Structure 1
Amino acid sequence: MLVLLPPSETKWAGPPRGAAVRLDALSHPDLTAAREQVLDALVEVSARPDAPELLGVGASLRDVVAANTTLRTRPAARAAQVYTGVLYDALDLPSLPASAARRVLVVSALWGVLQPRDRVPGYRLSMGTSLPGVGPLAAFWRRHLTEVLHPAGVVVDCRSSTYAAAWVPDAETAARTVAVRVVAGGKVVSHHAKHTRGLVARALLTRGGGRPRDPRAVGASVSEHFWGEAL
């Protein structure tokens, strides 16, 4: 089983001291060249006076955007610590056993994909952004992730629609993929959806008795965990 997560919008900036990110040490090293390209473009854009506008954020986040210019030198931390917010509070990545954390991938606008153990600095970049010299990031990463992501077993997709565009499973993988959608009153409610996705991911990653091996087993496991009976 593989659990795909979106990143959090807000991120921990990282510790005051420590080693900087090493792109060659991140998981999925086939993405190193693509990561270099996006990182270079983001650092360059973030130094511009119109950086907040280009990155699609408000002027109040100008200091956060400016911090992107130090991404290569700022101390890095485990992705499990860097990503924060509603989904990650519910999931509590740092407390997961190592065997469970290995089944998690975070889809990132800057790094492509990360495992929780990968060490990166906090950053500000959305998958909905079009970076000069790179283009729309979802399309950019879709080309690269299609080549490197070939998950085996069932895939539990907790990504938002923006990040889902960065990797689309082929027909064979789609047949064993479960997309987690949270609907209240016929509408998707962002805050509750993020919280529920975090709870669902944690329930599946920490359940006893082995991992679900097909979409039906995922549904049964979630139903049993939250309502006390399988579907």
Structure 2
Amino acid sequence: MIVLLPPSETKAAGGTGASLTTAGLGYPGLAVARSRALAALDRLVAAGQDVSTPAKARAAADNAAVRTSPTMPAVERYTGVLYDALDAGSLAPAARRWVDEHVVIQSALLGFVRAGDLIPAYKVSEHSKLPGERMRELWAHAGDELSGFALDLRSKAYAQLAPVAGAVPVEIVSPEGKALNHWNKAGKGAFVRALAESGAEAGSADALVAWAAEASVPLTRTDAGLRLVVQDPRLAAATR
């Protein structure tokens, strides 16, 4: 089983790992696409980037140093609501190993990366315009590198950017059955944390639902995939 996560716009600064080595990333079949994306980013940097605000200046600096800046595990590089709820850095060693073995994050710059892959800070999203490249064309076949049961927690935009055949999407809803926005991300992070802490293994959606029943996680089958109920919006507590 793999768990597909979206990236985040915000990223932690710094790192203690050596500079980016694409040969060290998971899914080596994406090497050509990664080289094209990085070359396009080089062209963007050379053409000049918007530095009109402190946030944009930092993003421009990150992009300019993407090949030389220090790295850190992808699951720690990404920040924001989902990754705060997952809080991989606080997991016990066994649960953290589960994350490194099962979680796959989709980067607009590097394609699919494993949770433990060492990546730099950068500012590229699915909406970015990289000179000479189209995001949809760049990553259209990236999903071919993945195999086995895939639990899809990505946003629709990223799922469309790099389709993964057979991936099972998860809908996050309130106890009343209403779609959520902010708490959607928190619920996803809490769900992945629960999977990691239990060491969950499942080869199908039905097997995952069976695990959820034993773990008291409100996860059910739907015609479209799976549905997870977030019980407490303040804590996104989908894992009780």
TM range (shorter): 0.7 to 0.9
Structure 1 stretch 31-40 or stretch 155-164: which is displaced more?
31-40
CA distance in 1, matches of 2:26, 2:81: 25
Match of 1:190 among 181, 188, 206: 181
Q: Which runs of 5+ in 2 are unaligned?
A: 222-240
Q: Take 1:148 and 1:213, find their aligned partners in 2: how far apart are those partners?
A: 18
Check the 8 A contact 1:44/1:69 in 2, yes or no. Answer: no
Alpha-carbon RMSD across the aligned residues, in angstroms, is: 2.6
Q: 2:206 aligns with which of 216, 219, 231?
A: 216
- Please report how far the alpha carbon of residue 29 of structure 1 lies from its aligned counterpart in structure 2 after TM superposition: 1.7
Distance in 2 (alpha carbons) for counterparts of 1:64 and 1:190? 27
Identity %, equivalent residues: 34
Q: How does 1:25-174 map to 2 (within 5 A)?
A: 25-49=24-48, 51-52=49-50, 59=53, 61-67=55-61, 68-94=63-89, 95=91, 96-135=95-134, 137-143=135-141, 145-149=142-146, 151-152=147-148, 154-170=149-165, 174=166
| 2:20 paired residue number | 21
Q: In structure 2, how many angstroms separate the alpha carbons of the residues matched to 1:197 and 1:4?
A: 11
Give 3-state SS (helix, strand or coil) of 2:104's partner: strand
- Name whichever structure is richer in helix by fraction: 1
What is the CA–CA distance in structure 1 between the aligned matches of 2:118 and 2:85, rounded to whole Å? 21
Equivalent residue, structure 1, for 2:194: 203
| Structure 1 Cα separation of the partners of residues 5 and 80 of structure 2 | 13
Shift of 1:167: 2.5
> Unaligned stretches of 5+ in structure 1?
none
- TM-score (normalizing by structure 1): 0.81
Return the offset for 1:60. Answer: 5.1
Give the Å deviation of 1:111: 0.6
Name the CA distance, whole Å, in 1 between partners of 2:50 and 2:179. 28
Q: Distance in 1 between matches of 2:169 and 2:103?
A: 15
Cα deviation per residue 1:44-66 (whole Å; 9 max; x = unaligned)? 213444x349xxxx855321231
Residue 166 of structure 1 and its aligned partner are, at CA, apart by: 2.6
Q: What is the CA distance between 1:25 and its match in structure 2?
A: 1.4
User: What letter matches 1:131 in structure 2?
Assistant: L
- TM-score, normalised to structure 2's length? 0.78
The 3 A distance-change label for structure 1 pair 138 and 64 is farther
